[in-house]
Amino acid sequence: MRISTVAIDVGYGNTKSAFPLGSDIATNMFPSLAPIAATSSLTAHTGGIFRARNVVNVEVDGARYEVGPDVSLSAAHVHTGRSLSEDYVTTPNYAALLAGSLHYANAIEVDRLVLGLPVHNTQKYAAYLKDRFTGTHNFGWGDVHINSVLPLPQPLGTLITYIQQNGKKYDPENAYLVIDVGYFTTDWVVARGYTMDDTRSGGVPGGAARIYQQVASLISADRGHPTDSIERIDKAIRDAKPMVFFGQDLDVSPYLAEAMAVTHQPVKEIQARVGRTEDIRAIILTGGGAQLYAPTILAAFPHNVIHIMDAPCFANVRGFYTIGSARQVAKAV
């Protein structure tokens, strides 16, 4: 299917996308895990008792990966499962996850592909993404044509979504601070209207994963058994349910409370870069780790109005889709 605009945010934690579905805008999300694909499946031999996993096999540089909503959480500990490197966008994992999003969007030809980048990596990798993904690709199910690629700083998508949701309440004459707490990075943008203040914007390593890793360390020390099951820790925290640990239900909340101390350093980085905030109309908090970092951010900016986005995981791609669609319309006029 030919699609005018597809927006994809291949995050370190989850891969999110937005694309047209009839007159609506559809969104999709799955874990940013891309393990080597299984060579066989037992599902077909179970007499219909078990359903097949919702994953797709993707070919990148001669290797086959599996991505999708039902990818195994244990894939984080398998070679090529999850990448947490600064050059993430150059890895086969990234390409496989992007291809998976195109598959779930049923996209065979895309006029404009909008991609998100961490603020501190945007200048470094924007040209690379344009060169890497503009053109014709075969990810294992036939040719996929991408006519143009538009890389954008991740928090910019949330700002556009916020403007859409607030309409006339948005004040373009004064500055807003958008803080995007991702899985591996925390990014922020100060913008007045549609103008970004580069001197006050930035990004640092340190997102939700830093909390999960600290929880894992605390559990290991307390229980005497090493664990690095940060995917299961993530799920237990999000679901507010115990995590199975050697056959027992383990309440992770006491470890989480202690681990919250690791949020202070990234927030101090934001304070140092942004400076005095009396000119900020509001702080917009978004990203998959928004709720985890919210208490520290609220304490750090006690005199500012702070809005936590609804469905923060999709705020960036919804805004990216709006930007991409607007550019397509302007190009056609």
Share of the chain above pLDDT 90, in %: 76
Number of structural domains the chain divides into: 1
pLDDT of 288 over the 50 cut: yes
pLDDT of 186 over the 90 cut: yes
> Is residue 297 in a domain?
no
Report the amino acid identity of residue 151: P
Residue 279's pLDDT band (boundaries 50, 70, 90)?
Answer: very high
> Is residue 264 in a domain?
no
The predicted-structure confidence for 12-32, as pLDDT tens digits, reads as follows 989 999 999 988 999 999 999
Task: Check residue 250 and give its pLDDT.
Answer: 96
> Is residue 293 in a domain?
no
Structure token digits, residue 23: 């007159």
Task: Check residue 72 and give its pLDDT.
Answer: 74
> Is residue 235 in a domain?
no
* Bridge partners, 286 (sequence order): 180
Residue 82's pLDDT band (boundaries 50, 70, 90)?
Answer: low
What CATH number has the domain bearing residue 86? Answer: 3.30.420.40
Question: d(Cα 43, Cα 50) in Å, to the nearest integer?
Answer: 6
Question: d(Cα 91, Cα 81) in Å, to the nearest integer?
Answer: 12
Range 102-111 average pLDDT:
96
For helices 119-133 and 92-104, give the axis angle rounded to 10 degrees: 70
Question: d(Cα 134, Cα 146) in Å, to the nearest integer?
Answer: 5
**Residue 5 CA, distance from chain mean position:** 19
83: domain range? 2-153+315-332
The predicted-structure confidence for 188-217, as pLDDT tens digits, reads as follows 999 998 899 999 999 998 899 999 999 999
Q: What b/e string do you get for 267-303 counting C-beta neighbours within 10 Å, with b at 16 or more?
A: bebbeeebeebeebbbbbbbbbbbebbbebbeebbee
Task: Check residue 80 and give its pLDDT.
Answer: 44
The predicted-structure confidence for 324-333, as pLDDT tens digits, reads as follows 998 655 554 3
Residues 6+ apart with CB under 8 A from 126: 117, 151
Residues 6+ apart with CB under 8 A from 277: 177, 283, 301, 303, 304
> Is residue 24 in a domain?
yes
Residue 233's pLDDT band (boundaries 50, 70, 90)?
Answer: very high
> Is residue 63 in a domain?
yes
> Is residue 38 in a domain?
yes
pLDDT of 267 over the 80 cut: yes
**Residue 265 CA, distance from chain mean position:** 21
Range 110-130 average pLDDT:
94
Task: Check residue 328 and give its pLDDT.
Answer: 59
pLDDT of 134 over the 50 cut: yes
> Is residue 175 in a domain?
no
Question: d(Cα 119, Cα 188) in Å, to the nearest integer?
Answer: 7
Task: Check residue 48 and give its pLDDT.
Answer: 58
- Work out whether strand 202-205 and strand 185-192 pair parallel, antiparallel, or are unpaired: antiparallel
